[in-house]
Amino acid sequence: MAKASQPIDKKRRKPHQARAAATVAAILEGAAQVLEAGGLAAFTTNAVAERAGVSIGTLYQYFADKNALLRAIAEREMAQALTAVAAALRGESEGTVESRVRAMVRAIVNAFHGRQRARKAVVQAVLAQGLAIEMMAPVASFIAAEGAEPRRGLGQLSREQVFVLSRALMGTIRAAVLEEQPFFKSAAFEDELVRLVLSYLNGVRQLDAE
């Protein structure tokens, strides 16, 4: 996950690790390209290896099987997205709840660096493979953490509330990705996503007040 940020310039010390890291990176990049170009249907281990410029044997040296490769891509993108979200929130640490939510929404929408087809394929694969739970865990725990902050004016969120809030937001974004909605990156869509979150939090608070 954090390997990319490690210094790779210690050529003297560990040439092997540097080579291996480059190979892994090439494979992941090749996988993303295959996904972007042909979707999930074109995503075969041989195709990825060829695109990555490595042999199929090398691919299997680093990934136990096809699913492991898929999981690695999903995890990498997830981690990057969460990092972006965290950075956005840090930049808004003094902002209003709305500004913080908006920063989060924007970071999630802008994930995957514009590779929409690849993103769609990854989402499909994650759903089809049943990896959705693990993938959602960080998002949910993030929201739970936010919801648990008394400073934010929110009471503690229940298990069901955390679930509904995280899945409503992610599910909507997911649907927009899968359906390739043209308004995906529009301001109007972002506004509605923000409204979705804030309204729900509002609804929870009102109940607590009663």
Partner DNA sequence: GATGAATGAGTGTTCATTCAT
Partner DNA sequence: GATGAATGAACACTCATTCAT
User: Looking at 20, 97, 131, 178, which residue binds DNA (CB under 7 A)?
Assistant: 20
The burial of 119, by beta-carbon neighbours within 10 Å (0-12 exposed, 13-18 middle, 19 or more buried), is given as buried
Residue with smaller CB distance to its own copies, 94 or 210: 210
Tokens of 164: 């509904």
| CA separation for the pair 27, 98 (Å, rounded) | 39
Question: Minimum distance from CB of 204 to DNA (Å)?
Answer: 44
| CA separation for the pair 175, 180 (Å, rounded) | 8
What DSSP string runs through 124-164? Answer: HHHHHHT-HHHHHHHHHHHHHHHHH-GGGT--PPPHHHHHH
Q: Are 143 and 204 in contact (CB under 8 A)?
A: no
Residue 183 makes contact with its own copies by CB under 8 A:
yes
Residue with smaller CB distance to its own copies, 107 or 161: 161
Residue with smaller CB distance to its own copies, 4 or 127: 127
Residue 22 makes contact with its own copies by CB under 8 A:
no
Q: Are 105 and 194 in contact (CB under 8 A)?
A: yes
Binding mask 111-150 for its own copies (x = CB under 8 A): ------------xxx-xx-x-xx--x--------------
Residue with smaller CB distance to DNA, 25 or 196: 25
Q: What is the identity of the amino acid at 190?
A: E
Residue 60 makes contact with DNA by CB under 7 A:
yes
The residues in 29-48 that bind its own copies, with binding defined as CB under 8 A, are 40
Q: Which does 204 bind (CB under 5 to 8 A by kind): DNA, its own copies, none?
A: its own copies
Closest CA to 175 of 155, 192, 153: 192
Residue with smaller CB distance to its own copies, 17 or 91: 17
Find the distance separating the first CA and the last CA of the chain, reported in whole Å: 45
| CA separation for the pair 177, 141 (Å, rounded) | 23
> Which residues here bind its own copies, judged by CB under 8 A?
40, 123-125, 127-128, 130, 132-133, 136, 158-161, 163-164, 167-172, 174-176, 178-179, 181, 183, 186, 188-189, 191-193, 195-196, 198-200, 202-204, 207
> Which residues here bind DNA, judged by CB under 7 A?
13, 15-17, 19-20, 22-23, 41, 43-46, 54-58, 60-62, 65-66
